[in-house]
């Protein structure tokens, strides 16, 4: 069963080689590097596979050695490591959860491989392409939520690749779109101001906003935010 999964990955990999992706069999993943970002497509299976069902799901992510170094150079930072955005490929769009059965009854293997390749090309590649124009991406982050791109990552992305003003606008517009986080962020900010910057990972949006205000000296927004700042 493991062999079937790995063979499936090996059949997918050459299709994306023409797009500049290199396959690492030990990690079941494809990687493409630009000067600034690393784009990764990783395949995952399941311990619950059986003779009739060999699962394959795909993850897509964006990371950067530049933002990793930037974070390490900050006295305080909200997110650790080099990660910026991404997750299961279906999370990059509005499509629902999708997995493939490499032994689906009635389907030839090549047909399943074509479906996987098509799904990744349709959903992951346009997502990756957003990062090739950081100015436009920062503008989009001010206007809208981008799937699988958390607010903590977005604020640090703006501070690393844009300006403090970009980060401020992204935060204020985010709170305008998500009024449910107003009081949560305010409470977290009050707590961190009293007890100190948290040593544990900040998992939730309100925690990340409060952490970013302290770490990067952003202006605490008025609660509620009265009007968003547009790009």
**pTM (predicted TM-score):** 0.91
Asked whether residue 121 is domain-assigned, the answer is yes
Domain hosting 57: range is 2-131
CB atoms closer than 10 angstroms to residue 131: 19
Query: Has residue 222 been placed in a domain?
Result: no
> Both 195 and 101 in a single domain?
no
The answer to whether residue 50 scores a pLDDT higher than 90 is no
Q: How many domains does the chain have?
A: 2
In this prediction, residue 225 carries a pLDDT of 53
- Asked if 112 and 27 sit in the same domain, the reply is yes
Q: Which of 86, 106, 131 is the last residue of a domain?
A: 131
Among 26-40, 185-199, 210-224, which stretch is predicted with the lowest mean pLDDT?
A: 210-224
114 and 186 fall within a common domain: no
Do 142 and 124 reside in the same domain of the chain? no
Q: From CA 86, how far away is CA 148, in angstroms rounded?
A: 5
- Reported as a single tens digit per residue, the pLDDT across 176-206 is 999 999 899 999 999 999 999 999 989 999 9
Q: Judge whether 178 lies within some domain.
A: yes
């Amino acid at each position: 069963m493991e062999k079937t999964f790995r063979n499936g990955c090996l059949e997918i990999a050459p299709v994306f080689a023409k797009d500049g992706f290199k396959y690492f069999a030990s990690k079941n993943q494809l990687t493409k590097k630009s000067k600034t970002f690393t784009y990764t497509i990783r395949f995952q299976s399941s311990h619950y596979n059986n003779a009739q069902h060999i699962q394959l799901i795909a993850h897509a992510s964006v990371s950067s050695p530049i933002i990793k170094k930037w974070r390490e150079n900050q006295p305080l930072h909200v997110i650790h490591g080099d990660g910026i955005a991404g997750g299961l490929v279906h999370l990059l769009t509005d499509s629902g959860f999708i997995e493939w059965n490499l032994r689906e009854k009635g389907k030839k293997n090549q047909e399943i491989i074509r479906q996987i390749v098509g799904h990744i090309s349709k959903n992951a590649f346009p997502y990756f392409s957003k990062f090739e124009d950081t100015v436009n991406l920062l503008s989009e982050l001010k206007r809208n939520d981008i799937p699988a791109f958390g607010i903590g990552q977005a604020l640090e992305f703006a501070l690393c690749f844009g300006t403090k003003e970009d980060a401020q606008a992204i935060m204020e517009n985010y709170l305008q779109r998500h009024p449910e986080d107003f009081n949560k962020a305010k409470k977290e900010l009050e707590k961190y101001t009293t007890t100190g910057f948290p040593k544990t990972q900040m998992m939730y949006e309100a925690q990340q906003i409060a952490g970013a205000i302290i770490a990067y000296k952003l202006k605490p927004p008025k609660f509620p935010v009265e009007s968003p700042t547009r790009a």
